[in-house]
Amino acid sequence: MSANEDQEMELEALRSIYEGDESFRELSPVSFQYRIGENGDPKAFLIEISWTDTYPQTPPIISMNAFFNNTISSAVKQSIVAKLQEAVEVNLGTAMTYTLFEYAKDHREQFMEHHRPAASPQTSISNIISVETPNAAPSSKKKDKREQLSKAQKRKLADKTDHKGERPRGWNWVDVVKQLSKTGSKDDE
């Protein structure tokens, strides 16, 4: 089989395997992302695999440059990519995207053993707030903020309304004559 036929078959298989999986994302027919770990997990990371024109006879491009991985040190990222490259060498010549994603899932703890997540300021602030206000009233009692309008938007709104801020009578009426002419012509036929 040619490289394109192999890619088409693997693409179809990936779509059927990962259908409904929120961790999997098809960026293009030759580029895929998979989130290893749950959202909010400090040891979660995102792998991006892109196929070359001659894939699977040549290795795919493995990247961890996604914004999702910005808290992971470059040394840990390079270590993960290096270990995935070793798996690529073993599977060269076969469809391997699914294998690489599963390999990463199976070895996630090993990959992230040197990762030290920094405490994010947002998390610590939200914890402080929740500790200080355990019996806070629900936020539904807060007044809803009105949408801020620009001067041009306010002028357009003022042009459409009368001095009381109400729209003129009949602003949403259907053109009766046009409607009757449409319905009347159907009755005549």
Instruction: Assess if residue 87 is contained within a domain.
Output: yes
pLDDT at residue number 148 = 81
pLDDT at residue number 131 = 46
pLDDT of 31 over the 80 cut:
yes
Which of these, 33, 34, 29, 35, lies nearest to 11 by C-alpha position?
29
Sign of the alpha-carbon dihedral angle for 125, 126, 132, 136: positive
pLDDT at residue number 145 = 61
Instruction: Assess if residue 23 is contained within a domain.
Output: yes
Written as six digits, the tokens of 32 are 């895929």
Cβ neighbours, 10 Å, residue 72: 22
Instruction: Assess if residue 171 is contained within a domain.
Output: no
Written as six digits, the tokens of 72 are 């992971």
Cβ neighbours, 10 Å, residue 43: 17
Please, what is the angle between helix 74-91 and helix 97-106, to 10°? 130
Q: What percent of the chain has pLDDT above 70? A: 74
The domain total for the chain is: 1
pLDDT at residue number 1 = 60
Reported as a single tens digit per residue, the pLDDT across 144-170 is 566 687 888 878 777 777 767 777 777
Reported as a single tens digit per residue, the pLDDT across 34-77 is 988 888 787 888 899 998 888 888 899 988 888 888 888 888 88
Categorize the per-residue pLDDT at 137 as very low, low, confident or very high, splitting at 50, 70 and 90: very low
Instruction: Assess if residue 58 is contained within a domain.
Output: yes
Task: State the CATH number of the domain containing residue 81.
Answer: 3.10.110.10
pLDDT at residue number 135 = 47
Range(s) of the domain holding residue 77: 3-112
Name which residue leads in pLDDT, 134 or 89.
89
Instruction: Assess if residue 141 is contained within a domain.
Output: no
Instruction: Assess if residue 74 is contained within a domain.
Output: yes
Instruction: Assess if residue 64 is contained within a domain.
Output: yes
β-bridge partners, 49: 32, 62
Range name among 6-20, 58-72, 85-99, 116-130 with the lowest pLDDT average: 116-130
Instruction: Assess if residue 134 is contained within a domain.
Output: no
Q: 37: left (phi > 0), else alpha (psi -120 to 50), else beta?
A: left
Q: Is the bond preceding residue 29 a cis peptide, omega within 30 degrees?
A: no
Reported as a single tens digit per residue, the pLDDT across 11-24 is 888 888 988 888 89
CA distances from 90 to 24, 55, 85, 86, 160 (A): 23, 14, 9, 7, 70
Share the mean pLDDT of the chain.
76
Average pLDDT of 166-177?
A: 69
